[in-house]
Amino acid sequence: MEEMRYIAIIFWSIMLGQVAGFIGGALNQQTFNMSYSAIVSVVFAVIFSIIPLILDSSVKDEKNA
């Protein structure tokens, strides 16, 4: 059941990344590149999914010391 959270994070990051990429492209008067927006969105989703795991393990290490 824990994996479902990560799937939802990646799904919503792709959706919101596409919207942000479209709006950003329109504001900068550039063409919208769907594949580039999806890649950037997935990279940020993975990074923001890993950060809580790293921070949680460092808190557990401090409690054990």
pLDDT digits (tens, 9 = 90+) for 2-60: 778 888 888 999 999 999 999 999 999 999 999 999 999 999 988 988 888 888 876 66
Contact 5, 11 (CB under 8 A): no
pLDDT band at 62 (very low <50, low <70, confident <90, very high): low
Contact 7, 46 (CB under 8 A): no
Distance CA 24, CA 22 (A): 5
Most distant CA atoms of the chain, gap in Å: 54
